[in-house]
Amino acid sequence: MELEILVSHFQSKDMKAFEKLYAMYSENICGVINTIVKNTDLAEEICQDVFMKAWNNAESYNASKGRFFTWIMNIARNAAIDELRSKSNKNSKQNLSSDFFVDILESKDDLNSQMDTIGIQNLLKNLKEKCVQIIELLYFKGYTQKEAAEELDIPVGTVKTRNRNCISQIRGNIAI
């Protein structure tokens, strides 16, 4: 309920509420962007832009249509993908459909594992590659169920259940 009040204050341009929401989600949003652009400096830049977009379009969020985090994550995904497609990244070798986010997670984990409350190794423990793939497509790249099914060459119905199982595994790893 706290979150709902915070969001409604944010929507009426309350800077304090916005600051709290920023504190709650900025790392996550930067993380989502980083999985797409795979460039920490660029990710941070886009991340700030995303929060500016959120502020400027605050009134367009409707709680009945989804979670606040889902809304802002969607803005982040679109901004990051736009950036990748933009001219400034034309020559970049980075590719949306290869290179799983797990690389980032692992490299970051190697560099500074103490920073994370839940280590990435723990989070992804026992997670199969097909889980990493489907999570990346659905959460970090904004694929629809159908698009993910085509990408992974599996039936549409399987996307839902496989994703459910993968998320459950992560949840299990958090609980440990």
Partner 1 sequence: MDVNKYITSGILELYVAGTLSEEENLEVARNAEQYPEIKEEILAIEAAILALSKAAAPLRSGSKGFNDIMRRIAALSDTKVITMTDSKTNWFTYVGWAASILLATGMLWMYNQNTQLKSEINVASQTNEVLEQQIFEANTSLEKSKELLNTIRDKNIEVIALGGQTVSPTSYAKAYWNKAEQKVFIDAKGLPEPPDGMVYQVWSLKLSPLTPTSMGLLEDFKNDDNKVFAFANPNESEAFGITLEPAGGSESPTLEQLYTLGAV
Q: Establish if 100 lies at the interface with partner 1 (CB under 8 A).
A: no
Least separation, in Å, of the C-beta of 85 and partner 1? 20
Q: Establish if 174 lies at the interface with partner 1 (CB under 8 A).
A: yes
Q: State which residue, 85 or 164, has the beta carbon closest to partner 1.
A: 164
* Cα–Cα distance for residue pair 55/29, rounded to 1 Å: 14
In the window 116-155, what residues touch partner 1 (CB under 8 A)? 116, 118, 120, 123, 135, 138-140, 142-145
Of the candidate residues 6, 101, 131, 133, the single one contacting partner 1 (CB under 8 A) = 101
Read off the tokens for 23: 């504190």
Read off the tokens for 139: 């959460």
Binding positions for partner 1, rule: CB under 8 A: 15, 18-19, 22-23, 25-32, 34-35, 40-41, 43-44, 47-48, 51-52, 55-56, 63-67, 69-71, 73-74, 101, 104-105, 108-109, 111-112, 115-116, 118, 120, 123, 135, 138-140, 142-145, 160-161, 163-164, 167, 170-171, 174
